[in-house]
């Protein structure tokens, strides 16, 4: 009788926990639905825990021209979330004896300058010192053209290293383009074919692959940027041969769940190899994935952004919790869905963005805020006006309209961020304060 009672109590505990998890997912669904109806969240979400999918749903629109909704089977560009797959391909090749992460770059490109100092390990962990190709001044003018891997590598091949290989971490898409080339050389196969045969097919990921810009891929989301109040514009074209293994894969949230489950098996590589992939080297970056602590829970994550798409995934191995969010609007960040999802699943506090109202102010006051405000060395907010409107533009980012809540306080519609202009006792504007992500960041007026 005691054993039977114990069994009932244990089963009751499991049921209560499962119900609690389901309630959390239901709460998140209601939040995402509400914001998608206001055109402030657009994409697909999957949340799973211990082999149970708690939420798998699309929100908003995959194609605004034809009014096609997002769904769990909508295909999105993964952007830099692709890097973990490229890293896995390298480790698969290592287990096959076709390369080693200790191999020098010169093994595959004999004439690569300083290639005898750079290892595959350095490329995987962003510690090679190779300059970032996307930061080159001419990048925007070449991204629309189809490239061979050799052509992409040539853009940074003969440039001086930014630092001694292995000495520091600096995020580098250039390194993952080189890894794509190494995968092809070591395997004798096209990168996309290798990924399909060695990762996607073994895991049953039938809706994942290499995005070919000039081929029709069914059930894909179109990439957009928010250009104004509820105005979506298709983004500028980028040929996906440019990012290659650094960001050219596509998938669905359901396929990404299959990928997550592979980390609890040896379907692709041995457990010891998976542990190596999840071991950080510098700045918490391991092999194609970042490993941090989140409120006492080990968390492996990666985010990505490419024209029209923004992606993020969280893998909590100790709790077998997985969160993946794929979006097809690249600058629509008013709802920090990923942070809210983490908070809800771990019973933490969170704050939803409030709907702010535009104050009726005299637009002539905007002129007093014109100028440059330095947040940190090399990062400046430029404030300008045009035709009765006021804008800010951060270094390296597009111009963004801001809206008055009062004479001194302004907000951004597409991002949960606010600006307050500060004046001295004589009424002169001396700085602004950016409030975003729970932080208040002052920026001194320098011009």
Q: Say whether 63 sits in a helix, a strand or coil.
A: strand
Least confident range from 88-97, 213-222, 313-322, 351-360: namely: 351-360
Q: Say whether 45 sits in a helix, a strand or coil.
A: strand
> How far is Cα 413 from Cα 415, in angstroms, rounded to an integer?
6
| Per-residue pLDDT tens over the stretch 398-421 | 788 899 999 999 998 777 889 999
**Residue 8: band (very low, low, confident or very high) from pLDDT cuts 50, 70, 90:** very low
Tokens of 361: 């102010």
> How far is Cα 384 from Cα 371, in angstroms, rounded to an integer?
7
In the chain, CATH 2.40.128.50 covers: 363-445
Q: What percentage of the chain exceeds 70 in pLDDT?
A: 94
Beta-bridge partners for 381:
373, 394
What is the reported pLDDT for 10? 35
* 8 A C-beta contact, residue 307 and residue 330: yes
**Residue 447: band (very low, low, confident or very high) from pLDDT cuts 50, 70, 90:** confident
Determine which helix (DSSP H) or strand (DSSP E) holds 345, and give its type and residue range.
helix 337-345
Position with higher pLDDT, 80 vs 332: 80
Q: How far is CA 155 from the centre of its chain?
A: 24
What is the second-level CATH architecture of the domain 363-445?
Beta Barrel (2.40)
Predicted TM-score (pTM) of the model is 0.85
Residue 126 half-sphere exposure, CB side, CA atoms within 13 Å? 20
Counting beta carbons within 10 angstroms of the beta carbon of residue 87, is it exposed (0 to 12), middle (13 to 18) or buried (19 or more)?
A: buried
In the chain, CATH 3.40.710.10 covers: 59-66+70-345
> How far is Cα 90 from Cα 120, in angstroms, rounded to an integer?
9
Q: Is the pLDDT of residue 3 over 70?
A: no
Tally Cβ neighbours within 10 Å of residue 336.
19
Residue 103 half-sphere exposure, CB side, CA atoms within 13 Å? 21
**Residue 228: band (very low, low, confident or very high) from pLDDT cuts 50, 70, 90:** low
Tokens of 80: 């830099």
Q: What percentage of the chain exceeds 90 in pLDDT?
A: 81
CA 239 to each of CA 72, 146, 148, 242: distance values in angstroms, whole numbers, following the listed order: 25, 6, 11, 6
What is the second-level CATH architecture of the domain 59-66+70-345?
3-Layer(aba) Sandwich (3.40)
What is the reported pLDDT for 12? 38
């Amino acid at each position: 009788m005691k054993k039977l009672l114990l069994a009932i109590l244990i089963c009751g505990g499991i049921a209560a926990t499962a119900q609690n998890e389901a309630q959390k997912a239901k709460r998140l669904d209601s939040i995402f639905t509400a914001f998608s109806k206001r055109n402030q969240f657009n994409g697909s979400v999957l949340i799973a825990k211990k082999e149970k999918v708690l939420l798998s749903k699309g929100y908003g629109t995959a194609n605004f021209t034809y009014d096609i909704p997002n769904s769990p089977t909508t295909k999105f560009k993964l952007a830099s979330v692709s890097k973990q797959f490229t890293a896995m391909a390298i480790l698969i090749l290592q287990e096959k004896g076709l390369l080693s992460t200790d191999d020098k770059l010169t093994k595959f490109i004999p004439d690569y300058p300083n290639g005898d100092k750079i290892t595959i390990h350095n490329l995987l962990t962003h510690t090679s010192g190779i300059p970032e190709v996307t930061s080159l001044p001419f990048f925007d003018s070449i991204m629309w053209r189809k490239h061979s891997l050799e052509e992409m590598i040539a853009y940074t091949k003969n440039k001086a290293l930014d630092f001694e290989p292995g000495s520091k971490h600096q995020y580098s898409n250039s390194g993952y383009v080189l890894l794509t080339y190494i995968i092809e050389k070591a395997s004798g196969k096209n990168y996309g074919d290798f990924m399909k045969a060695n990762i996607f097919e073994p895991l049953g990921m039938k809706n994942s692959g290499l995005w070919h810009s000039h081929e029709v891929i069914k059930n894909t989301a179109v990439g957009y940027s928010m250009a104004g109040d509820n105005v979506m514009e298709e983004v500028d074209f980028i040929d996906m041969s440019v990012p290659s293994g650094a960001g050219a894969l596509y998938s669905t949230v359901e396929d990404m769940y299959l990928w997550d489950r592979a980390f609890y098996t040896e379907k692709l590589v041995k457990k010891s190899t998976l542990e190596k992939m999840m071991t950080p080297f510098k700045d918490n970056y391991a092999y194609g994935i970042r490993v941090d602590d989140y409120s006492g829970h080990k968390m492996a994550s990666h985010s990505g952004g490419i024209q029209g798409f923004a992606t993020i995934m969280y893998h909590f191995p100790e709790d077998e919790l997985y969160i993946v969010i794929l979006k097809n609007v690249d600058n629509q960040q008013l709802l920090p869905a990923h942070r809210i999802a983490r908070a809800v699943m771990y019973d933490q506090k969170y704050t939803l963005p409030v709907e702010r109202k535009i104050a009726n102010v005299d637009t002539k006051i905007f002129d007093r805020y014109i100028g440059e405000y330095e947040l940190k060395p090399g990062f400046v907010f430029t404030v300008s006006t045009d035709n009765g409107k006021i804008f800010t533009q951060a270094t390296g980012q597009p111009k963004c309209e801001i809206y008055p809540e009062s004479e001194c306080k302004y907000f951004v519609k597409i991002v949960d961020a606010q600006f307050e202009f500060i004046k001295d006792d004589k009424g002169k504007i001396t700085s602004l304060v950016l409030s975003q992500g729970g932080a208040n960041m002052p920026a001194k007026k320098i011009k």
